[in-house]
Structures are given as C-alpha cells and as structure tokens.
C-alpha cells in the first residue's frame, strides 16, 4: 500500500508572483513509480521561464527539474532500482511505447506526459493539506524534500558521483554537453561558437573541449561570464553588445573566419540569428536555448543556401539519459568535465526565490539547493 507523507516544497502559485515554501502531501509510489529523497537540485533558466510566464500558466507548480537524490522506496512493477541508490532525475521521461522510444531516441518521445507535469497515469502525487492539486514541474518537481517520479525518470548514477554534480547532469550539463557531442558531433579541430554562458552554454563549451575543438569562442553580454568561460575550455571570448555587426565581426574573426558549429544557449531569436550568421561554409547552427512560446526567428535564405549551412534544434542534447547520465558522471570522475566549477553557491529551499532573481539578472553560475541531511 503506497503511503502518504508530507514534504516541504517550493511552490509557484502562478507566473509573476514570488515562490513560497509550503508543506504538501505526497502520495505514492504507486506501480511504476519511485519515491526519491532529494539531495541536491540546481536552479536552471527553465524554472525562471515558468516563474516569468514565458511558458503559460499550467496551474500551481512545484518548481525544480535539475535534481538528484536517493531512492527511498520503490513501487510495484519497478525493475532495476532499489532503496539507497543515488539517482539523477530526467525531466523528459520516455513513454517506452512510441516510435521514438522504439528507436532509442527518447528526446523525441511523443507519448510522455512530462510536459503536462503529470505522471504516466495522468495524476499528480502532490496536494495541499486542504486538497488542491499541485503539479510537479516536468513530472519531477525537484525543489522538494521528497518526490514521487516515474521509475524511468530515475537514472542510477555511478558510486562516488557528488550529489550536486549528479543534479546538474539532470538538465544543464546534459543539454549543453550532449548538444556538442551528439547533436553537432563536434570534431577535433572544429571551430566552435557558444552564445550564452549560463549552465547550459558553459556545458556546451565543456563538451566542445572534450571533443577536441580547436577554437572555442564564448559569447555573452555579461563580462563576468566571459572570464569564467576560460575555466571550461574557451579559447577566445567576445562581449556581445547592441552593435550587432561589430559583435558578429568579432565572433567570425575569433572563429577563424566563421564557425563550423555555433550554439545558441539563451533562447532568444536575435542570438539564434547571430549564431546562423556566424557560420562558415558547411557550418551548423544548433538551437539549444528554449524561447518563450511562439518565438520566431529569420535568416538570409540566400546565404544559408550559398553556405550549404544547417540549422538544427537540440532538445535535451538528444540525450538518452539512462545511458548518457552515467557516462557524463564517469567523464567528471575521470577529470574530463569540470562540472563542479558550475556551482556558484549552495542554498536552501528558502533561497530559491532569490536565486531566480539572480538568474534573471544574469548573475553568477549555478545555484544549487542542498538539503539538510546531505551526507
Ligand atoms: N546576448 C548575450 N548573452 C545573453 C543575452 C544576450 N542578448 N541574454 C542573456 N544572455 C546570457 C546571460 O548573461 C547568461 O549568461 O545568457 C546566459 C543565460 O544563462 P542562464 O540564465 O544561466 O540560462 P541556462 O540555465 O544556461 O539556460 C539557457 O537553455 O534550457 C534552456 O530554458 C533554458 O532557455 C534557457 C537556456
Ligand atoms: Zn533546465
Ligand atoms: Zn515515447
């Protein structure tokens, strides 16, 4: 019989009102689900998109989608997970039944209910004490002491992985690193441009460095980010300004006349257009950042044809979390991905509101919620 417990959690009642820590009821795990005691959860720009209303108003949400914890209890009909295991949570759990899932391409899954913030059976495990339903963001809602998640969202991590590193692998690191390694397939000697140096963009820089890129040109409008980018493998930095032509010229020059691969890691049409214009012949622009609903961008069609260029979207870095999360952790443990350098500050659940404000101002790298009984 599945239990009901209480958990403290960060609730967004609706966009553009401050988040609040509340005590909620949590039901489960039912069949196919696991209960996770959260250990760490990064504050990512997608949490801010929800808080800002960029992505509509799905109803009261527990925010957080970049988390790791320990399996506390396993529901019926769950294979391969047991209590005590360290897991990182995927925010796009695969349905296991659609064509994309059959092709091992879970980032294209069409049957998941994660974008509706619901478990596979359509329910939410969270309620206020008086009974109001609360949705867990992307079906995981990691700014909470406990979460009940689909078993396929809980990915077992190698022993020795620091919990904050496991958490960051849950979103920003995988999105950025795998955009470089899988979507773009950056090659040794490639010339790479990364626009936007938050957790996602710096992870794309790390991924390009692991792939052996030649030039890695890091672009941001905040000087502090440019200085930090070199620690992750950037060879050149360009401060982007309102003077688009000057910014573009500086990027193209630093990239040796144009980029083989240009990554947009902000989610703005203007910077995607900049990435496309930064390409050399045969180059590929990779759209990684997710814009507000309905955003459209444009490009010079003649130039695109003339350069035989490619524009490609990369959701979650085209990752297969079950395989790629542990591989990224191994790369960290081998000293090849400095994921821990992304951590700006450790905070409590009470600090999430301020962390979202700092993210909106472009200040600092990842702030990570760590929970009190952190080992
Ligand atoms: N020009 C250049 N840099 C910019 C601009 C701009 N117009 N606007 C913002 N930036 C920079 C910020 O200074 C910051 O360094 O982009 C970076 C964005 O970083 P974060 O806010 O930390 O975002 P992150 O969590 O990395 O996510 C980036 O990926 O997954 C998506 O939803 C996510 O769309 C978001 C994107
Ligand atoms: Zn994220
Ligand atoms: Zn599917």
Closest by CA to 324, choosing from 208, 177, 217, is 177
CA of 103 to the centre of ligand 3 (A): 9
Peptide bond into 251 cis (omega under 30): no
DSSP assignment of 88-111 equals: EE-SS---SSSHHHHTT-GGG-SS
Reduced to 3 states (helix: H, G, I; strand: E, B; else coil), residue 23 is: strand
Confidence at residue 375, expressed as pLDDT on a 0 to 100 scale: 43
Q: What is the largest CA-CA distance in the chain?
A: 64
Confidence at residue 2, expressed as pLDDT on a 0 to 100 scale: 67
CA distance 373 to 375: 6
Reduced to 3 states (helix: H, G, I; strand: E, B; else coil), residue 317 is: helix
Neighbours of 353 (CB within 10 A): 17
Q: What is the pLDDT of residues 84-122, one digit of tens each?
A: 999 999 999 999 999 999 999 999 999 999 999 999 999
> What mean pLDDT value characterizes the chain?
96
Residue whose CA is at the smallest distance from ligand 1 atom 19: 198
Tell which one of 54, 178, 195, 200 to mutate to probe ligand 1, the residue whose CB is within 8 A of the most ligand atoms.
Answer: 200
The answer on pLDDT for 14 being more than 90 is yes
- 33 burial (CB, 10 Å; 0-12 / 13-18 / 19+) is buried
- 25 burial (CB, 10 Å; 0-12 / 13-18 / 19+) is middle
What is the number of alpha carbons within 13 Å of residue 307 lying toward its C-beta?
Answer: 24
Left (φ > 0), alpha (ψ -120 to 50) or beta: where does 348 sit?
beta
Mean pLDDT, rounded, for 323-328: 98
Neighbours of 81 (CB within 10 A): 18
CA of 287 to the centre of ligand 1 (A): 12
Cα 77 versus chain centre, distance: 29
What does the block give as tokens for 44? 């990512």
Show the ligand 1 pocket: residues with CB < 6 angstroms: 44-46, 49, 172, 175, 196-201, 220-222, 225, 240, 265-268, 271, 288-290, 359, 362
Reduced to 3 states (helix: H, G, I; strand: E, B; else coil), residue 147 is: strand
Contact between 87 and 189 under an 8 Å Cβ cutoff? The reply is no
What is the number of alpha carbons within 13 Å of residue 212 lying toward its C-beta?
Answer: 4
Whether the CA torsion 219, 222, 227, 228 is positive or negative: it is negative
250 to each of 124, 194, 239, 283, 309, how far by Cα in Å? Answer: 49, 13, 9, 17, 20
Instruction: Using pLDDT thresholds of 50, 70 and 90, give the confidence band for residue 374.
Output: very low
Beta bridge partners of 193: 217, 262
Residue whose CA is at the smallest distance from ligand 1 atom 20: 198
Considering every ligand atom, which ligand is closest to the CA of 98? 3
Residue whose CA is at the smallest distance from ligand 1 atom 13: 362
Mean pLDDT, rounded, for 250-268: 98
Q: What is the pLDDT of residues 202-253, one digit of tens each?
A: 999 999 999 999 999 999 999 999 999 999 999 999 999 999 999 999 999 9
The answer on pLDDT for 334 being more than 90 is yes
The answer on pLDDT for 264 being more than 70 is yes
Confidence at residue 3, expressed as pLDDT on a 0 to 100 scale: 85
């Amino acid at each position: 019989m599945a239990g009901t417990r209480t958990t403290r959690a960060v609730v967004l009642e609706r966009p553009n009102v401050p988040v609040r820590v509340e005590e909620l009821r949590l039901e489960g795990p039912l069949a196919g689900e696991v209960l996770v005691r959260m250990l760490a959860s990064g504050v990512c720009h997608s949490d801010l998109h929800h808080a800002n209303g960029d992505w509509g108003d799905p109803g009261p949400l527990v925010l957080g989608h970049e988390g790791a914890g320990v399996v506390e209890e396993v529901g019926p009909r769950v294979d391969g997970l047991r209590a005590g295991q360290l897991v990182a949570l995927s925010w796009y759990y695969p349905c296991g039944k659609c064509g994309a899932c059959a092709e091992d391409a879970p980032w294209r899954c069409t049957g998941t209910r994660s974008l509706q913030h619901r478990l596979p059976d359509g329910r939410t495990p969270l309620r206020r004490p008086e009974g109001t339903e609360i949705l867990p963001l992307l079906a995981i809602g990691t700014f909470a002491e406990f979460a009940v998640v689909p078993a396929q969202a809980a990915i077992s991590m190698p022993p020795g992985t620091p919990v904050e590193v496991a958490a960051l692998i849950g979103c920003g690191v995988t999105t950025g690193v795998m955009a470089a390694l899988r979507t773009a397939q950056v090659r040794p000697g490639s010339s790479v441009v990364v626009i936007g140096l938050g957790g996602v963009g710096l992870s794309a820089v790390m991924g390009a460095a692991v792939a052996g890129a030649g030039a890695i040109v890091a672009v941001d409008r905040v000087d502090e980010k440019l200085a930090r980018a070199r620690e992750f493998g950037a060879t050149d930095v360009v401060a982007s300004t309102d003077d688009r032509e000057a910014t573009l010229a500086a990027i193209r020059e630093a990239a040796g006349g144009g980029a083989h691969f240009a990554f947009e890691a902000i989610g703005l049409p203007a910077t995607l257009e900049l990435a496309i214009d930064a390409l050399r012949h045969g180059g590929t622009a990779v759209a990684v950042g997710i814009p507000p609903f309905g955003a459209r961008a444009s490009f010079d069609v003649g130039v695109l044809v003339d350069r035989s260029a490619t524009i490609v979207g990369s959701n979650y870095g085209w990752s297969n979390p079950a395989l790629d999360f542990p591989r990224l952790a191994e790369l960290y443990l081998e000293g090849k991905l400095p994921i821990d350098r992304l951590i700006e500050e450790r905070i409590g659940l009470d600090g999430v509101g301020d962390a979202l404000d700092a993210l909106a101002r472009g200040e600092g790298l990842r702030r990570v919620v760590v929970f009190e009984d952190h080992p």
